[in-house]
Amino acid sequence: MRIATWNVNSIRARSGRVVDWMEREDIDVLAMQEIKCKPEQFPSQVFEDAGYDLAIHGLSQWNGVAFASREPMTDVVTAVTNMPGFQKGAVGSDQPLEARALGVTINDLRLWSLYVPNGRSLDDPHYAYKLAWLNALRVHAAEELAAHPALALAMMGDWNVAPRDEDMGDPSFVPGLSTHISPEEREAFDAFEQAGLTDVVRPIVPEGFTFWDYKQLRFPRNEGMRIDFILGSPAFADLVTDASIHRNERKGDAPSDHVPVVVELDGGGDDDDRPMIF
């Protein structure tokens, strides 16, 4: 079984490209972020024609997460416990929730598609929101695994954190001045390991970026960052037999600024003839 995550940066602009890639790479489940549309605006037909069922959570032209799966999806939820909301200029704990999390069960796997808030700048209210959002997600994961220690859980998506120095190759991000690399963000990301989740891709693919800005020739210069991750519980990690970052999807006409990250799980069949792109 092949499971992937991809910040598609507007699914209406890239549905054909996404589905072509899924068919070419024989992807069984794709978690998408930044779909930037409501469910009724999602280009569902092209996915359904390719044999995929959909779960979609989008509220406006911003944010939005979705799943495309060849297998049925159940237990669909659109928020984790105590997830904070955000509205520019608002204060208090009753701010509206954004479309940033979508959880589904596929066979015995519990999967989440996540679009972690950007943070914007270290002095912006969105930064405090980002840290609170990550904390709520970590607490939810820890509680879920405490209740079900054998659960094959994966939280995947655009985390908007470069947890290690080698994950940041964009020179415009400056330590002490920029988000994504602050000690607080990195500590929040690392805390997921204490909750029982580990990066299941890095042991197999230790190097490689997943995002390159469209500006300043960042991709040709390879000035990117590694901010898209699949974090798995021990039961999920035990199933992983291979992983890849599909850098070539940043090339060509109208690419997303992110590329897919893929894991292969035990029981996925004979895939020796499938090309792998590291």
**Binding site: what residues are annotated?**
7, 34, 158, 160, 257-258
What is the spatial distance between Cα 48 and Cα 35, in angstroms, rounded to a whole number? 17
| CA distances in angstroms from 138 to 75, 183, 200, listed in the order given | 20, 17, 17
What is the spatial distance between Cα 229 and Cα 73, in angstroms, rounded to a whole number? 22
Whether 167 sits among the annotated catalytic residues: the reply is no
| CA distances in angstroms from 6 to 13, 27, 68, 79, 94, listed in the order given | 14, 12, 11, 19, 30
Please pick, among 28, 129, 140, 158, the residue that the annotation labels catalytic.
158
Annotated binding site for Mg(2+): 7, 34, 158, 160, 257-258
Q: Name every residue whose Cβ is closer than 8 Å to that of residue 40 and which is 6 or more positions away in sequence.
A: none
Cβ(29)–Cβ(67) below 8 Å: yes
Whether 158 sits among the annotated catalytic residues: the reply is yes
Other Cβ atoms less than 10 A from the Cβ of 266: the count is: 10
What is the spatial distance between Cα 188 and Cα 191, in angstroms, rounded to a whole number? 5
Whether 20 sits among the annotated catalytic residues: the reply is no
Query: Crossing angle for the helix pair 183-194 and 125-147, nearest 10 degrees?
Result: 10
Which residues are marked as active site?
115, 158, 258
